[in-house]
Structure 1
């Protein structure tokens, strides 16, 4: 492998990471807009703020981050979903859309371009992104004793459903990785 190949894989990895973040936030936005029915003027993707997030506008027209310490984001969310029926989907919407898109892209590359190496690079990169996000979120939650990301937030109100979701999500990557790698 020469330096051009190494550069290609490094740049490809960064592009994959940026696309992951975009599709992850788009998943929250999509669930918020179309399932929870949050008006478009009251929900916004903030991709270039740290951490990237979907912000909600409260009744005072202030943009609220999900990790605000006063609980304004949660209160604002519940004005659109008072009984919380779609809260799990909203919280996990990022993982759902991001994983669906990347697994479909990998599957399409494998079948239509016939390139198992790039397909498995996408699957492996996406899997690593999810592991880092989930483990990092749970570690900070354990340290601060307050939810800071999607996983720790979901575990607060639906621990069994969250555990099953995370296991299923990660297994879907493993199954497709093995399928492409061996067939």
Structure 2
């Protein structure tokens, strides 16, 4: 398929809770192909379907060369003491802010054939799972910033060239 343009902060699709993908959805295979093509670009750890303008529950990931996808993901487990990590987002380009995330996360879902899928891990994988699931729930990572950081983030975003 093709790499799709990333929707930017301010686009309503990014603040909308994504719908589950029903079995045998006619566009599911094309959506997954586009998600995989979109996440393979350098510097990308994950792409949620809403980021490419599709309000369905699926995301792709690219962590240390491990590229994959998950449909209808559910956060199954988080563990460890939440810690601040520098986080960015393709939909808020050019900015990184400290965001609290659990050091371990695991999600369950299905693949295109309906076979159960489980992804999980620590570090960047844990961060990506939490980040992409937030997208599917209509949240951006800046929504979870502490108030002083969020005020500064919003000021910088409003002053950015792309906003």
TM-score w.r.t. the length of structure 2 is 0.30
More strand by share: 2
Which structure would you say has the larger Rg? Answer: 1
Richer in helix (by share): 1
Whose relative contact order is higher, 1 or 2, with alpha carbons under 8 Å and at least 6 apart? Answer: 2
TM-score (norm 1): 0.28
